[in-house]
Amino acid sequence: MLPCKKNDVAAPNAPLQSSSARYAIFFTPRPDTTLAAFSRSWFGRIGESDALDSFADQAPPETKSAPSHPNRYHGLHVAFKAPFALREEKSPDGLNAELQRFAAKHEPVSTGPLALVRQGNALALAPQDPALSVAWLEAQCINAFDEFSDALSAEEREQHFPHLSPYQRLLLESFGDPHAMSEFRFSIRLTGRLEPAKLEQVAEALAPVLDVICREGIEIDALSLMAAPKSAAPLRVVGRHSLGA
């Protein structure tokens, strides 16, 4: 079992290290916050459980059929280090301990006010102004945990990321993520692709629900270690480590 601090969320069965196990470092909302309540209502989970929450009954009727963004983690999150396989010489316990040390050395950062934005034919939450302190935390996280991640093979890179710019391909080869470092943009994807009329309808319904969250912004107060026993399985919160604790 991976060790957890007092305020961590522990997975009942942490995945064993194997060639198919995957790990990631995400921001996930603290369970007792307005942000977590929205995550439960919209995605039906916040990471530690698949169980639907009573908040789901409060979601606007217009949003019920909006598809959530296809992902192995269907909950409100931001990836600070994209899913990766552990290097053979590294252990899950070592990764968790290092994340705890990393979090303790870094202070919480804020996104500032957010906006509900269109990203192609999807909806997302993004800062109104560039969140430079958040981007710097992501860059430090990428560098700190690069030694834990096994590189993707050329076949895996082509299979999962066929359409990249030369610079994004370089980031993918170097860090396992084409949207790392200078390509990182804080963004919380809320839907999959929607028809234009449906997108406007959902955006209009979500705007009042997200008003307080958008005005106050989000404090990145912790980083969560995510894990899945195999590549196709959903990622789950193993431990949530408070920044500056």
Q: Is the dihedral of CA 94, 220, 21, 235 positive or negative?
A: positive
Residue 158 has what pLDDT? Answer: 61
Task: Parse the chain into domains and list their residue ranges.
Answer: 22-152+182-242
- DSSP secondary structure string, 66-87? PPPPP-SS-SS-EEEEEEEPBP
Please state, in angstroms and as integers, the Cα–Cα distance from residue 211 to each residue in 113, 126, 156, 174, following that order. 10, 13, 40, 38
pLDDT at 2: 52
The burial class, CB within 10 Å (0-12 / 13-18 / 19+), for 31 is: middle
Q: Give the sign of the dihedral formed by CA 142, CA 146, CA 148, CA 150.
A: positive
Residues in the chain, overall count: 245
Provide the pLDDT for residue 161. Answer: 65
Task: Say what the pLDDT of residue 174 is.
Answer: 73
Residue type at position 129: D
**What is residue 43's predicted lDDT score, i.e. its pLDDT?**
79
Output the tens digit of pLDDT for each of the chain's 245 residues.
454 444 454 443 445 556 678 899 999 999 889 999 888 888 765 444 443 333 344 455 555 555 555 565 668 899 999 888 898 899 999 999 999 999 999 999 999 999 999 988 889 999 999 889 999 999 899 989 989 987 665 566 566 667 777 877 877 777 777 777 776 889 998 888 888 888 898 899 899 999 999 999 999 999 999 998 877 778 889 999 999 97
Q: What is the pLDDT of residue 106?
A: 97
Q: At what angle do helices 92-104 and 132-144 cross, to 10 degrees?
A: 140
Q: What is the pLDDT of residue 58?
A: 45
For domain 22-152+182-242, the CATH architecture is Alpha-Beta Complex (3.90)
Q: State the pLDDT at residue 180.
A: 74
Asked if residue 92 lies in contact with residue 14, where contact means CB atoms within 8 angstroms, the answer is: yes
Residue 160 amino acid letter: H
